[in-house]
Amino acid sequence: MKKFLLIPDSFKGTMSSTQICSIMEEAIHRYYPESTVVSIPVADGGEGSVDSFLTAMGGERVVVEVTGPYFGKMEAFYGIVDGDTAVIEMAACAGLPLVGDDKRTHQATTYGVGELMLHAARRGCKRIIVGLGGSATTDGGTGAAAASGVGFYNRKGEKFVPTGETLAEITRIDESTRDSVLDGIEIVTMCDIDNPLHGKHGAAHVFGPQKGADGKMVEFLDAQLRALGETVSQSLGKEIANLPGAGAAGGMGGGMVAFFDAKLEMGIDVVLDTVRFDELLEGASMVFTGEGKLDSQSLRGKVVMGIARRTKRQDVPLVAVVGDIGDPIEGAYDGGVSAIFSINRVAKDFKQVMARAPQDLALTMDNLMRFLHRLKV
């Protein structure tokens, strides 16, 4: 009996990874009704990550009242999978969609993320995965750290909760007061970008504008993040300024390392390890993956190439079904991708045909499975 693994990323703004898995599975069972199909929807750490893990693995969705982006109370959530692994997406309480048109990234906080982490730890979780992405914040993770008990002090010796506009006011950081419930817990951060904390490629310059920061505010926030990096170096002896990924989610990547000793890992590797993908690959006939557009950026190691590394090791064919194909992508084949197919059947810019993507994916998968079945593959 054949076994197929489905592990696509979402087609941003078009189809969720769960929807893609459903369409793929229907086509496969049409031609191989007795086959085993394992669906592993993927999210990159941003909005939808918790649901993707719960769909793939089962588990519990936990709803908690926490602090929102502008310090008001709100309901957020996290997931528990594998019994003692918590999956948190920072977007659940510090996400850009939560602030609507009221974008004040210099005043937004990650405090609620720290509260979710504490709640998961008190529930007995031994591993916490924090997904970075879709944030409204530029506080360098200081809000989350403050929620966990880390003390931030200004020149007057006063303790306060920093935001993006007050990072330079921090003169001392005291980690000794961090809640001991987090001690001994493995904290992993899903981070798919390599931006440093500050500078032209840092958090403020690259991500600030989409969070409402104009040119003047970008420069101000960049200086604040630079000051944070210097204070972390002086108070904690940790160098995060040029750490690849430190600039993720408004500097949250750097903050996770500085205040929680977290490991920054590529999101797809965290997903594959957590769902035990290497074990699922055993006996698999073929793996299907995909994303909105496969191009040179994809070759840097995100979803498709991260999966390809694993399938190549076990010599399992990997087929990428994508919205569109860019140039150059020849390196994908060397990296372990067996074949790449675009669902763009009318040869127009994918943005013009996004509305028909579910139908075109279904037709493309039907065509592929029809061909494989005819070859008796």
Per-residue tokens: 263: 């490991």
Report pLDDT for 301: 62
Whether 151 maps to a domain, the answer reads yes
User: Which residue, chain included where needed, has tokens 């999966």?
Assistant: 307
Residues 61, 124, single domain; the answer is yes
Q: What is the pLDDT of residue 330?
A: 87
- Tell me how long the chain is: 377
Q: Give the largest Cα separation in the chain, rounded.
A: 77
| Rg of the chain taking only CA atoms, in angstroms | 22
In this prediction, residue 214 carries a pLDDT of 97
Domain contains 229: yes
**Together in a domain, 189 and 224:** yes
Q: Phi then psi for 102, rounded to 5 degrees?
A: -90, 70
> What order of strands is seen across the sheet that includes strand 263-265?
60-67, 73-81, 85-89, 127-131, 186-190, 263-265
| Domain end call among 267, 300, 326 | 267
| pLDDT computed for residue 150 by the predictor | 98
Same domain, 82 and 165: yes
Indicate whether 321 and 258 sit together in one domain: no
Give yes or no: residues 22 and 111 share one domain: no
Residue 275 within any structural domain of the chain: no
Q: Kindly give the parts of the chain with pLDDT less than 70.
A: 300-301
Q: What is the pLDDT of residue 292?
A: 87
- The string of pLDDT tens digits covering residues 312-329 is 999 999 999 999 888 888
Residue 103 has what pLDDT?
A: 97
Residues 134 and 243 in one domain: yes
Structural contact between residues 59 and 26, judged by C-beta atoms closer than 8 angstroms: no
What is the number of structural domains in the chain? 2
Residue 244 CA neighbour count, 13 Å, CB half = 5
Pick from 216, 237, 241: nearest CA to 226: 241
Clarify whether residues 163 and 124 are in a common domain: yes
- pLDDT for res 140: 98
- Residue 230 and residue 180 share a domain: yes
123 and 239 in a common domain: yes
Q: Do 172 and 25 have their domain in common?
A: no
C-alpha of 117 from chain center: 16
In a domain, 279, yes or no: no
Among 209, 239, 267, give the residue marking a domain's end.
Answer: 267
Domain boundary among 233, 267, 301: 267
Dig out the tokens for 161 from the structure: 């909760």
Q: CB neighbours (10 Å) of residue 269?
A: 18
Instruction: For residues 104 and 227, state if they share a domain.
Output: yes
Question: Do 148 and 187 lie in a common domain?
Answer: yes
Q: What is the domain extent for residue 36?
A: 3-40+284-374
